Amino acid sequence: MSSNLADDKAPAVEKKLSDKEARKAARLAEEKARAEEKAALVEKYKDMFGAAPMVQSTTYKSRRYVPVADLSHPELRDKTVLIRARVSTTRKKGKVAFMVLRDGGDSVQAMVAVEGDVPKEMIDFIGQIPSESVVDVEATVCEAEKPITSTSHSTIELKMKKIHTVTESLRTLPFTLEDASRRESDDGAKVNFDTRLNSRWMDLRTPASGAIFRLQSCVCHYFRQFLIDNDFCEIHSPKIINAPSEGGANVFKLEYFNRFAYLAQSPQLYKQMVLQGDVPRVFEVGPVFRSENSNTHRHLTEFVGLDVEMRISEHYYEVLDVAEGLFNYIFEHLATHTRELEDVCQQYPFEHLVWRLTPEKVNELGVGVISEDVEPTDKYEARVHDMESRMLRINYVHCIDLLNTVLEEKMAPTDDINTTNEKLLGALVKERYGTDFFISDRFPSSARPFYTMECKDDARFTNSYDIFMRGEEISSGAQRIHDPDLLLARAKMLNVDLTPIKEYVDSFRLGAWPHGGFGIGLERVVMLYLGLSNVRLASLFPRDPQRTTP
């Protein structure tokens, strides 16, 4: 009896299995048919849309691409162009597709509709292209029916004929450019700063970040241009050195074969030695390393140093004259980059830098004019070199006097001005003199390195100077000691062992030129010129005590 029941169930199980297999086979056949249909469509329309062959250097200049920035040129109106751009957004609506394409800070709207030879499949293809992909588009440049406010080219749009993906982006992005471009004060989602730095290549696509680094490039360019035009020679000093270059402890120590070496804190000693090789004026653009565990808005463990050193005939003012001319040149030229400045200001609003006194302020306060031998009657004995540059110089002691007008706990003339009081000093200078930029000179000996020349009239002070922007130091410099005996005596007084850098001292024993110079932090200049809140915004891939990636 039980055997007959088992026999009865067997055909039912077989029938269920055969039905399941049949459904699976049908599904596979359907999928195969769809794939074949899709392959046929891809083949049919491959010249119109699809994936472009991978760029592997098989052709050279076989196609002429028009930069997105040039699309508004009148001669391109109603012409067919080929562009390569990044996809910002896509929008598909029925038989029409729209895209915003961009390259750097330039963007344009492109559209296509199902008509004539344009199939619906092209609309579908465009609709599934991930944002941030790179595409080649062949299109006609047409006048826009009405201004397009979401793109930099507001009066034109592209009527697409062909589109091919060069590379596709992942569909899930680390963040959206819209979120990363918002002001701190705006509503809506914002992107954590560390998240942005972790995907810096994505962050650089925002208008503000891209503009910051174009402006940083300009600072370097104008720095070089001014100095070369003024007979300076660019040098490149070593960054792996035998001993701490400034006698300090804030250096990175590394294993160097069977001994230890250090990363240079600055090119200071090498600049001076090169001058004694009868190269009268030198400058360098290069990395600087500081082993300082400072997690502040303005400190980095690696940054770009802009260094200058030159002979002087009589006075360190000769160096200050060059420094003022240099900064005036940089600032005047940066001010012409209106588009980049506007891009930064859209996300990081700032007041444009004021680096000169007005003629009225010079006369009103009795500011001295060095080139005209006009002594100051100003209460703080402020000076400018000449009435053309009008860049402020104030003695360190008078900076202390200015601070003491508002400080409850008064400072002595040789006290160090800390970071908080630097900001306060900047505000007081702006209030009194109307400038964001000034030079303070004759710093106390206790605050300067061993190689700094002392003031002849008062050994408590030195022939040194700092340059300030918006209440923060951007540059430090001095007349250097060029007499080897005085250098040794100064080092001994400060307990600095010069044995490891004997060659540096020796470079002054064969007839030494009097000289001075200064060093500038590139990222800090950019940060303060643009009024940014954090130096990391002006550092491409910042290094600080917490970050060594990416």
**pLDDT level of residue 28 (50, 70, 90 thresholds):** confident
Average confidence score pLDDT of the chain: 94
What is the pLDDT averaged over residues 269-294?
A: 97
- Give the separation between CA 344 and CA 215, rounded to whole angstroms: 10
Catalytic residue among 86, 196, 298, 383: 298
**Phi, psi for residue 353 in degrees, rounded to 5:** -65, 135
Q: Length of the chain, please?
A: 550
Check pLDDT > 60 for residue 6: no
**pLDDT level of residue 193 (50, 70, 90 thresholds):** very high
Phi/psi-derived region of residue 540, left when phi > 0, alpha when psi is between -120 and 50, beta in every other case: alpha
Strands in 281-289's sheet, in edge-to-edge order, are: 233-234, 281-289, 302-311, 515-521, 472-479, 464-469, 437-441, 392-395, 383-384, 368-369
The pLDDT assigned to 140 comes to: 98
- Give the separation between CA 135 and CA 180, rounded to whole angstroms: 23
Check pLDDT > 60 for residue 1: no
Catalytic residue among 164, 390, 442, 524: 524
| Burial class, 38, CB count within 10 angstroms (exposed 0-12 / middle 13-18 / buried 19+) | exposed
Check pLDDT > 80 for residue 16: no
Verify whether residue 360 is a known catalytic residue.
Answer: no
- Give the separation between CA 52 and CA 211, rounded to whole angstroms: 31
**pLDDT level of residue 368 (50, 70, 90 thresholds):** very high
Check pLDDT > 90 for residue 2: no
- Give the separation between CA 355 and CA 335, rounded to whole angstroms: 12
Verify whether residue 298 is a known catalytic residue.
Answer: yes
- Give the separation between CA 134 and CA 87, rounded to whole angstroms: 6
Catalytic residue among 299, 352, 543, 547: 299
- Give the separation between CA 394 and CA 380, rounded to whole angstroms: 7
Check pLDDT > 70 for residue 8: no
The pLDDT assigned to 357 comes to: 98
The share of the chain scoring above pLDDT 90, in percent, equals: 89
Catalytic residue among 246, 284, 340, 473: 473
The pLDDT assigned to 101 comes to: 98
Phi/psi-derived region of residue 231, left when phi > 0, alpha when psi is between -120 and 50, beta in every other case: left
Distances (CA, A) of 91 to 96, 99, 193, 237, 528: 8, 6, 30, 54, 40
The pLDDT assigned to 385 comes to: 98
The pLDDT assigned to 9 comes to: 59
- Give the separation between CA 160 and CA 247, rounded to whole angstroms: 65
Check pLDDT > 90 for residue 40: no
The pLDDT assigned to 17 comes to: 63
The pLDDT assigned to 190 comes to: 86
Q: What is the pLDDT of residues 403-432, one digit of tens each?
A: 999 999 999 999 999 999 999 999 999 999
**pLDDT level of residue 29 (50, 70, 90 thresholds):** confident
Distances (CA, A) of 258 to 218, 224, 238, 239: 42, 38, 19, 18
Check pLDDT > 90 for residue 313: yes
The share of the chain scoring above pLDDT 70, in percent, equals: 96
**pLDDT level of residue 482 (50, 70, 90 thresholds):** very high
Name all domains of the chain by residue range, CATH numbers in brackets.
Answer: 68-167 (2.40.50.140), 177-205 (no CATH), 208-356+435-538 (3.30.930.10)
Check pLDDT > 60 for residue 437: yes
Verify whether residue 524 is a known catalytic residue.
Answer: yes
Catalytic residue among 88, 181, 245, 476: 476
CA of residue 173 relative to chain centroid, distance: 23
Check pLDDT > 60 for residue 281: yes
The pLDDT assigned to 511 comes to: 97
Verify whether residue 292 is a known catalytic residue.
Answer: yes
- Give the separation between CA 544 and CA 409, rounded to whole angstroms: 33
Tokens of 268: 């200071």
Q: What pTM was estimated for this model as a whole?
A: 0.90
Verify whether residue 473 is a known catalytic residue.
Answer: yes
What residues contact 462, with CB distance under 8 A and at least 6 apart?
442, 443, 444, 445, 448, 452, 453, 454, 455, 478
Catalytic residue among 281, 290, 393, 432: 290
Whether the CB-CB separation of 106 and 68 falls below 8 Å is answered with yes
Terminal-residue alpha carbon distance, the chain: 76
Check pLDDT > 60 for residue 3: no
Output b/e per residue, 115-129; b: 16+ Cβ within 10 A: eeebeebbbebbeeb
Catalytic residue among 121, 138, 168, 292: 292
The DSSP secondary-structure symbol of 34 reads: H
The DSSP secondary-structure symbol of 170 reads: P
| SS3 of residue 24 by DSSP | helix
Q: What is the pLDDT of residues 73-90, one digit of tens each?
A: 999 999 999 999 999 999
The pLDDT assigned to 529 comes to: 99
